[in-house]
């Protein structure tokens, strides 16, 4: 449940800004049908920073109720405040989730001792497995392999989502943390190479719009079938690129709206893509046959 093709699920909103639980159910069912291995609920792609704590927990609870054990559920429990992250961990620890995804504290840029203390406190707040999440592009703080090695000594810290795009870290982390430590790519464009280098899967934005293809990519790459993985990834590259032309999850929610899977509603400070990017998202989806080609007048 903590390996394979894992989707970093978006959080759908109504036009009034409330959580749209009907659309959330539709999205979860789509991933169950597609064979996605697990869902990360209320991570970065799920707009965790704009949800209240009660909303955050309600979304995770709803995903567990909808999925009813048919797909793995991983709850985002990160915060730049250790006290808040601990509270989220304690409150969601009673839910039937498979584990947590805990992002490196953002904005305040803690030193190594601060990271060790932060994650130790979160790990102590629940006995459920915890996956570290290193994404310096978002947090301005890089959790280096030596820090990960020290955190891996904590029993319920079982893996990391590594989003630097540095494939060389796979072997560094494997050597330092052991074969049982779960290594997940957090960077869709380099995820193929990450898995072929020995990674255990990917927590993917692209899986929101192409769940079957991402599942096929993960299965091929984790089995060491480089030729098949390369062929699948070649088709996915334009999607990977398109989904990051603006800050995530702006493009992916717009894409899902064009596909008819949800309404493209955001919470400030996120807004709709620029008109030029809207047109680019449509073009990429048309070329990937994820939406019908728009007739030109």
- What phi, psi does 7 have (nearest 5°)? -95, 135
The three-class DSSP label of residue 5 is strand
**Set 3, 106, 119, 133: catalytic member:** 133
Binding site annotation covers 45? yes
In sequence order, the β-bridge partners of residue 185 are 162, 202
Place of tokens 């049982």: 180
**Set 3, 161, 192, 215: catalytic member:** 161
Q: Which of 47, 38, 109, 46 is nearest to 74 (CA)?
A: 38
Contact 259, 30 (CB under 8 A): no
Radius of gyration of the chain (CA): 18
DSSP string across 258-283: HTTSS-----TT--PPPHHHHHHHHH
Binding site annotation covers 203? yes
The three-class DSSP label of residue 160 is strand
C-alpha span between 175 and 169 (Å, rounded): 10
| Active-site residue, 107 included | no
Show Cβ contacts of residue 12 under 8 Å, excluding neighbours closer than 6 positions: 19, 20, 23, 24, 27, 253, 262, 263, 265
Q: Which of 138, 121, 130, 40 is nearest to 93 (CA)?
A: 130
C-alpha span between 46 and 35 (Å, rounded): 20
The three-class DSSP label of residue 296 is coil
C-alpha span between 84 and 77 (Å, rounded): 9
| Active-site residue, 106 included | no
User: Which residues are known catalytic residues?
Assistant: 133, 161
Binding residue numbers for pyruvate: 45, 203
Binding residue numbers: 45, 203
């Amino acid at each position: 449940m903590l390996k394979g093709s894992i989707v970093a699920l978006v959080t759908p909103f109504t036009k009034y800004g409330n959580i749209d639980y009907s659309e959330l159910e539709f999205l979860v069912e789509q991933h169950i049908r597609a064979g996605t291995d697990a869902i990360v609920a209320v991570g970065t792609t799920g707009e965790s920073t704009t949800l209240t704590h009660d909303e955050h927990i309600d979304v995770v609870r709803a995903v567990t109720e909808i999925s009813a054990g048919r797909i793995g559920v991983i709850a985002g429990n990160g915060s730049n405040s250790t006290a808040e992250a601990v509270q989220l961990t304690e409150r969601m620890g009673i839910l039937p989730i498979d584990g947590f995804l805990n992002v490196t504290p953002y904005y305040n840029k803690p030193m190594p001792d601060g990271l060790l203390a932060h994650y130790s406190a979160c790990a102590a707040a629940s006995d459920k497995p915890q996956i570290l999440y290193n994404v310096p592009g978002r947090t301005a703080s890089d959790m280096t392999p030596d820090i990960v090695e020290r955190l891996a000594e904590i029993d319920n810290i079982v893996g990391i989502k590594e989003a630097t795009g540095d494939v060389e870290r796979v072997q560094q982390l494997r050597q330092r943390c052991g074969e049982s430590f779960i290594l997940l790519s957090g960077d869709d464009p380099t995820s193929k190479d990450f898995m072929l280098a020995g990674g255990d899967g990917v927590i993917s934005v692209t899986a929101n719009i192409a769940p079957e293809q991402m599942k096929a990519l993960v299965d091929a790459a984790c089995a060491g079938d480089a030729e098949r993985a390369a062929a699948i990834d070649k088709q996915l590259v334009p999607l990977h690129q398109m989904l990051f032309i603006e800050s995530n999850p702006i493009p992916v929610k717009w894409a899902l709206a064009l596909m008819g899977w949800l309404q493209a509603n955001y919470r400030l400070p996120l807004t709709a893509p620029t008109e030029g990017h809207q047109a680019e998202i449509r073009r990429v989806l048309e070329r990937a046959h994820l939406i019908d080609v728009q007739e030109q007048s």
